[in-house]
Chain A
Amino acid sequence: MILRFLESAGATVRESIESLGFATRAFFNLLRFAPGAFRRPALISEQIHFIGNYSLVITIVSGLFVGLVLGLQFYVNLIQFGAEDKLGSLVALSLIRELGPVVTALLFAGRAGTSLTAEIGLMKAGEQLSAMEMMAVNPVQRVLAPRFWGGVIAMPVLAAVFSAVGIMGSYLVAVKMLSLDEGAFWSQMQAGVDVNRDVVSSVIKSFVFGIAVTFTAVFQGYHVKPTPADVARATTRTVVIASLLVLGLDFVMTALMFTQ
């Protein structure tokens, strides 16, 4: 009984380490071919357009609602202490430092990540990637690398759109509906947000999330077993793994960036 438990625990640990090693090798393999993709910028810009477009509407709508809710919640609570003037600064910091990159990355994993996995997985199931290899075209360079860069470049832009729309949402609620002073809203925001500490860190975070989500998506698609059931499982795995990676990386980066 105990022996069997130890055996299965050992096997699980070994398999986990093996798959981690496999994913790491695949990541470095992708990085090896990734710079080559810049020789054909049209392929990358096509993917930025495609992947960015996938997620733009959901990013804008979510950003707006998150901003509306933040404006409302902060106003209701801050007014109890007469500190509602700080609302602009609080909303901007919450969005720029945390919610912008994190929520956008989660939405990005659900929207663009799944379609990347499904697209590459179905290409594999239809032998399109094998056909490409037989035509002496490296699928990692031709298919994976442009999609990887497309996702990595689109993600910070989407996060910036999310934060900007969120700020506009909170402005609508706090200033236009609840009559917060407009001057206080914007001036507090300007005084509270630091370009280096907040905006640059936000861009770095969303760039790292872009790498994590897009790599997870293309990796899951490329290593799928060529059956419909496994393509379906791979898309689910993309969302689960990418979301957990984003949340874990966010904690690590926040700890590194914002603690003294």
Chain B
Amino acid sequence: MSNLVEIRDLEFAYGDRKILSNLRMDFPRGKLIAVMGGSGCGKTTVLRLIGGQIRPQRGAVRVGGEVVHELRTDGLYRLRRKMGMLFQFGALFTDLTIFDNVAFPLREHTDLPEELIRDLVLMKLNAVGLRNASKLKPGEISGGMARRVAVARAIALDPELIMYDEPFAGLDPISMGLTANLIRNLNDALGSTSILVSHDVNETFAIADYVYFMSAGKIVAEGTPAELRVSQDPYVKQFVNAEPDGPVPFHYPGKSLADDLGLGAKR
């Protein structure tokens, strides 16, 4: 099976602060691949690099065989039409209704008549269970519902690649389960490839085909959810079992408490 997205020898830094180093990942077509790791480990940066919002210092991201950072603006926009992205907090247009939010990409990129757009939008909203909320504004629905509207908007143009940035963050257990099922079902129904960035172990393991674990901008483990559940890798064990201590320290690196309080032996 060919890969829709390939990442090779990728390095990225904000100024002097290195975010990603020597990254190699494959995202096969039709699969749901999860990228997991603690906050600030560079997961979202991977999505931004795939979407071409930032440029790597070294290495390359290939989407459908095209090197993303070598594309000119029109080429990049052409590529992005095949992508859908769910932002962490939905990023819905607050001045538009839910209907108009989902209709936005259709109106921008197609010349479809308004009746057809109406039918398509209602079908997408039906898929996320919010057809009857189409006349409301984003401020009038809950955070979980807003996330689902954003999913409907991300799939409006039936993209080949759907990227989800922390889709479970801040959701109640019911919404979390709903969203997880929705992501899996959409992946299978649309035949698209999905990249799921998350740190929620249970939901992600329940739906993902393959998981990459990241820490400090590097891949530290990878495998199917079943393999990772029994993994003896200390990082994976700490993460999956939510242990407070392990390779990921509780304290921000720096001086020890004894040094700060002046309790060390005087020299």
Contacts and interface: CB of A to CB of B under 8 A. Distances in A.
Nearest to B157: A135
Given A134-B85, A142-B108, A128 B94 contact: yes
Majority SS at the chain A contact face: helix
Interface residues of B, number: 20
Contact of B53 (A133, A135, A137): A133
Interface in A98-154: 122-123, 126-128, 130-131, 133-138, 142
Nearest to B83: A134
Nearest to A135: B105
B89 A126 contact: yes
B53 A130 contact: yes
Contacts of A128: 91-94
Given A126-B94, A130-B53, A137 B87 contact: no
A134 B159 CA distance: 12
A137 B106 CA distance: 11
B144 interface: no
Interface string B83-104: 1010111011110000000001
Contacts of B105: 135, 137
Contacts of B81: 136
Contact of B87 (A122, A131, A138): A131
Given A126-B94, A128-B94, A130-B53, A137 B89 contact: no
A165 B248 CA distance: 69
Interface string A165-183: 0000000000000000000
A126 B109 contact: no
A128 B77 CA distance: 17
A135 B91 contact: no
A127 B94 CA distance: 11
B184 interface: no
A130 B78 contact: no
A46 to B, nearest CB: 11
Contact of A134 (B78, B80, B108, B109): B80
Contact of B80 (A122, A127, A136, A142): A136
A221 B94 CA distance: 16
Interface string B149-182: 0000100000000000000000000000000000
A51 to B, nearest CB: 14
A134 B105 CA distance: 10
B30 interface: no
B77 A126 contact: no
B51 interface: yes
Contacts of A127: 87-89, 91
A141 B132 CA distance: 32
A148 to B, nearest CB: 18
A142 B105 CA distance: 12
Contacts of B89: 126-127
Contacts of B93: 123, 128, 131
A137 B77 CA distance: 8
Nearest to B109: A136
Contacts of B87: 127, 130-131
A137 B85 CA distance: 13
Nearest to A122: B94
Contact of A135 (B78, B88, B94, B108): B108
Interface string A7-46: 0000000000000000000000000000000000000000
Contacts of B53: 130, 133-134
B80 A130 contact: no
Given A122-B94, A136-B80, 14 more contacts: A123-B94, A126-B89, A128-B92, A131-B93, A133-B53, A134-B51, A134-B53, A134-B85, A135-B153, A136-B77, A136-B81, A137-B104, A137-B105, A138-B77
26 contacts: A123-B94, A126-B94, A127-B87, A127-B88, A127-B89, A127-B91, A130-B91, A131-B87, A131-B91, A133-B53, A133-B80, A134-B80, A134-B83, A135-B80, A135-B104, A135-B105, A135-B153, A136-B78, A136-B81, A136-B108, A136-B109, A137-B104, A137-B105, A137-B108, A138-B77, A142-B108
